[in-house]
Amino acid sequence: MKKTRALKWSAILLTVILAACGDNQMETDAIETSEPETADRGEDLQADDESSSTLTLVDAAGNSVELPENPQSIAVFDNGQLDNLSTLGLSERVVLTASPNLPEHLSAFEEVDVAGSFFEIDLEVTHAAEPDLIIVAGRSSAAYDDLKAIAPTIDLSNDSTDYFSSIESNLMRLGIIFDLEAEAENVIAELNNELEELNEQAEASDLTTLVAMYNEGSLSAYGPGSRFGVVHDAFGFQAIDEGVEESNHGMEITYEYVLEKDPDVLFVIDRTAAIGGDTSSAPLEDNPIIQQTTAYQNSQLTYLSPSAWYLAEGGAGTFRIMMEEVSQVLN
């Protein structure tokens, strides 16, 4: 398995334009570098802080968006970005979400008004909230065109094929928007240190693993490069099957498939527990075929928090939870 990269700024390709209230305008470009170069950029941003009012940046989807500098009210239609804003100390600026089903670590947002759902944003409620900035990602990104007519909108969708770099980039974008670049860098550095340690331990363990979603009695597998491929691609665990088909909904598998592959560790994400549904199916570990597997017999059938893995991917706090959960099999 390839080693996790050391902390670096991948191709964020942010273009920041600080538009002065007068005629002066300053433009800075952040390009790919091997080390953060925020000292000079920070001085430039600070020097123009009093006179600037807007900035323009390129979001994760490649949209060039002009937005107010340091916006005070934010509509956030993605749990991962709620997580990132909370991590940066910006929770009180969130005036609207689209998730009545929040993970426990985001329970502080339960009292925030809800505008529909990720799949169907209530545009009237959003318009009435008059946010300075709207953030979409993943499930809610389909509403981008409608929302940008209401307020400046950025898409911070997470790239599951390059999970940690995506978190890095989006945290840095938020740091630039809210003048919290140093804070964002500190969070990224801490996560990177934890990630490198986990990666080394996982690779050294030689444990073979399979990531599966359990949904109303059915199983789907996720391999490297997939939605939950972070287990292999970033965390460093060996995949028992490198040929798992890449799909957002996973590759359908049978209980017999799990026994045939027989991984040392079976990571399970219970989708039904995350979003509700038919709960009449027996727990996976009650299946007699699963009980024959090495993972079950060695107490390495490990459930991962569905609210974190399924409902809040792309957040810094969520990423830390994910690392903590998979590391349990190394103890």
Sign of CA dihedral 39, 197, 214, 251: positive
Residue 302 confidence (pLDDT): 96
Instruction: Report pLDDT digits (tens) over 221-245.
Output: 999 999 999 999 999 999 999 999 8
- In the chain, CATH 3.40.50.1980 sits at 14-190, 206-330
Q: What is the pLDDT, as a whole number, of residue 277?
A: 64
Q: What is the pLDDT of residue 272?
A: 80
Tokens representing residue 187 in the block: 């969070």
Residue 184: in which H helix or E strand, if any? helix 181-205
Is the CATH code 3.40.50.1980 the one for domain 206-330? yes
pLDDT at res. 310: 87
Options 3.60.21.10, 3.30.110.30, 3.30.1950.10, 3.40.50.1980; CATH for 14-190 is 3.40.50.1980
User: Counting beta carbons within 10 angstroms of the beta carbon of residue 281, is it exposed (0 to 12), middle (13 to 18) or buried (19 or more)?
Assistant: middle
| pLDDT under 50: residue ranges of the chain | 1-15, 17-51
The helix (H) or strand (E) run that includes residue 256 is helix 255-261
Q: CA of 289: how far to CAs of 48, 259, 282, 294, in Å?
A: 65, 7, 13, 11
Counting every residue written for the chain, the total comes to: 331
Given this model, what pLDDT does residue 52 score? 52
